[in-house]
Amino acid sequence: MLKKIMLFFAGLTLASTVTLAGDNILPYQLKSGKPYAGTTLNILAVVTPQFKAYELRDEEFESLTGIKLNWTHTPFVALQEKVSSVGVAADGSFDVVNYLDSWGPSYAYWLEPIDAWLKRDGIDMNRYPEAFKKSAMFKGETLGFPLRAHPQLMFYRKDLFDKHNLQAPKSWSDVVSAGKTIKSKEGIGGLACYYGSDGNRQNLFIWLNFLWAAGADVFDSQMKPAWTTSAGLKATRDYIDLHTKHGICGEGAVSNVEQDARIQYAQGKAAMIPVWWWAYSGFYNPNQSTLSKDQVAFAGMPAYMGKTVTYAISMPYSISKYSKNKEAAWEFMKWLSNPELDRRNAIEREVAGTKIVNNVVTHTSSMLDAEVNAANDNIQQAAAASLKNSDIMPQIPEWPEVGDLLASAIQKASTGGDVDQLMKDAAKKAERILRRAGYY
């Protein structure tokens, strides 16, 4: 144990770990003297190698603070119900919870704002890309740290692109052209599309790229639906046309959700897929994919009408207002969110004897770090570029209801429905929801 701790301190920068004889100064702005020793914190997290690696490293935190951690890892499909039950129960059974950013506004009443702690301990949220930072906020308050966060990238079959003398797509016109070529010559889908509506609003992920790049938006300054402007409707038609007009999508496009599309690409049934960066390792994992690593390449998201605006997503960690151990939970949050842990977690491939493959980092410094990029085929550099012009879904409690209207309209449009009429109908229904909520 002592040897591990000594090696850990030796690996940190002098600025973050100054330890002088007789002093007890800890890294990450942790409190000295172990004031919360003996406390046990209950942590709710989504199932992912990234967070499993955090759990496997928590001996470090326990040795520094005397605080013990009890982790519960929940699959994403069950996470919303689990987190929601924590808020409804109001009993503090979990001190720290992990959730999807778009759920945050609905949970804000029972999540503890951390701005006062940030100020006290000198932690700057600008260490994160702007979209990630925004994803952990609601009404000007910071509710947590965006510790699992994703930019979008375009993955493509390098072998097939080389075979047919195609370049990595820089625009959606390039995607259409390459998709048609590969579909006609290889007999597989040019693009793994996901227009299905399953309650998670996944078919909006790529639509937002089109909408924002066209200069349109989801809501205007008065919180009125803004996707029915001429630019917004054209962008939506062009998104739907990938399937209905250009025919470049793989099988099952109208019912596929993101997971289906990822499987389609990994099984060699589609040549391109626009998706989150975390999917990279799975695309050449022999347990999940028929592809080898040299067949998989990635590029930034394509431009639409000469402009690229991407959608970013995060899964913040927050402290429950019902926790009886808030100060101890804040100590955990400081350790969990520290930049050095973020960096190490994307470089080291074995933690406590367990193999871990993770390329997800959230600090800008990690995305630009040479060792992190060397360990991950420079995917962090591509992510940093993707995040330069990114945004998130609207952070309002009513978004799930409004988003479901949009997701349903998109799905129906992909089956051949009238795009403009479907989007206008969705806008009228959304206005009723927002009016009822008191926006106007």
Full pLDDT tens readout for the chain, 440 residues: 433 443 443 444 333 433 333 345 789 999 999 999 999 999 999 999 999 999 999 999 999 999 999 999 999 989 999 999 999 999 899 999 999 999 999 999 999 999 999 999 999 999 999 999 999 999 999 999 999 999 999 999 999 999 999 999 999 999 999 999 999 999 999 999 999 998 789 999 999 999 999 999 999 999 999 999 999 999 999 999 999 999 999 999 999 999 999 999 999 999 999 999 999 999 999 999 999 999 999 999 999 999 999 999 999 999 999 999 999 999 999 999 999 999 999 999 999 999 999 999 999 999 999 999 999 999 999 999 999 999 999 999 999 999 999 999 999 999 999 999 999 999 999 999 999 999 99
Q: Are 381 and 368 in contact (CB under 8 A)?
A: yes
Strand 152-157 relative to strand 272-276, pairing: antiparallel
Q: Are 432 and 253 in contact (CB under 8 A)?
A: no
- CATH no., domain 2-149+313-390: 3.40.190.10
* pLDDT the model gives residue 16: 42
Per-residue tokens: 177: 């052209």
Strand 141-142 relative to strand 137-138, pairing: antiparallel
* pLDDT the model gives residue 91: 87
Phi-psi region of 269 (alpha: psi -120 to 50; beta: other; left: phi over 0): alpha
Dist CA 133 CA 149 (whole Å): 10
Q: Where are the beta strands (DSSP E) in 47-162?
A: 68-74, 96-98, 137-138, 141-142, 145-150, 152-157
Per-residue tokens: 74: 């929940």
What's the pTM value of the predicted model, to 2 decimals?
0.90
Domain range summary for the chain, segments of one domain joined by +: 2-149+313-390, 152-311+398-436
Q: Where are the beta strands (DSSP E) in 236-379?
A: 272-276, 296-299, 310-311, 313-319, 350-351, 354-355
pLDDT per position as a tens digit, 86-120:
999 998 999 999 999 999 999 999 999 999 999 99
Dist CA 258 CA 206 (whole Å): 11
Q: Which CATH class is domain 152-311+398-436?
A: alpha beta
**Cα distance from N-terminal residue to C-terminal residue, the chain:** 60
Q: Burial code of 127-149, b = ≥16 C-beta within 10 A, e = fewer? A: bbbbbbbbbbbbeeebbbbbbbb
Question: For residue 79, which of 107, 39, 108, 110 has the smallest C-alpha distance?
Answer: 107
Task: Determine the 3-state secondary structure of 44 from DSSP.
Answer: strand
Q: Are both 2-149+313-390 and 152-311+398-436 of the same fold?
A: yes
pLDDT per position as a tens digit, 165-217:
999 999 999 999 999 999 999 999 999 999 999 878 999 999 999 999 999 99
Residue 288, CB half-sphere, CA atoms under 13 Å: how many? 15
* pLDDT the model gives residue 120: 96
Per-residue tokens: 253: 């496009």
Residues contacting residue 2 through CB under 8 Å, at least 6 positions apart: none
